[in-house]
Amino acid sequence: MPTPRLKLDAFLPYRLSITSNMVSELIAGAYEALFGLRVPEWRLVAVIAEAEAISQQAIGRRTRMDKVTVSRAAIALADRGLIKRTPNPGDARSHLLSLTSAGEQLYAEVMPKALEYEKRIFASFKPAEIERLKIMLARIEEVVEGLEAEAERG
* Interaction of residue 91 with a copy of itself, rule CB under 8 A: no
Query: Going residue by residue from 31 to 70, which x/- string records binding to a copy of itself, judged by CB under 8 A?
Result: ------------x--xx-xx------------xx------
Partner whose footprint covers residue 114, from DNA, a copy of itself, none (CB < 5 to 8 Å by kind): a copy of itself
Element (H, E) at 85: strand 83-88
Q: What angle do CA 50, 109, 131 make, to 5 degrees?
A: 55
Site for DNA in 80-119 (CB under 7 A): 88, 90-95
Rounded CA-CA distance 30/17 in Å is: 20
For residue 41, the minimal CB distance to a copy of itself (Å) is 13
Give the helix ranges, DSSP H, for 10-126: 12-35, 39-51, 56-63, 67-79, 101-121
**Residue 56 binds which of a copy of itself, DNA, none (CB < 5-8 A, kind-dependent):** DNA
Query: Least distance to DNA from the beta carbon of 63, Å?
Result: 11
Q: How far apart are CA 25 and CA 33, in angstroms?
A: 12
Q: Write down the least CB distance from residue 58 to a copy of itself, Å.
A: 13
Residue numbers 15-54 binding DNA by CB under 7 A: 38-40
- What is the C-alpha to C-alpha distance for residues 136 and 139, in angstroms, rounded to an integer? 5
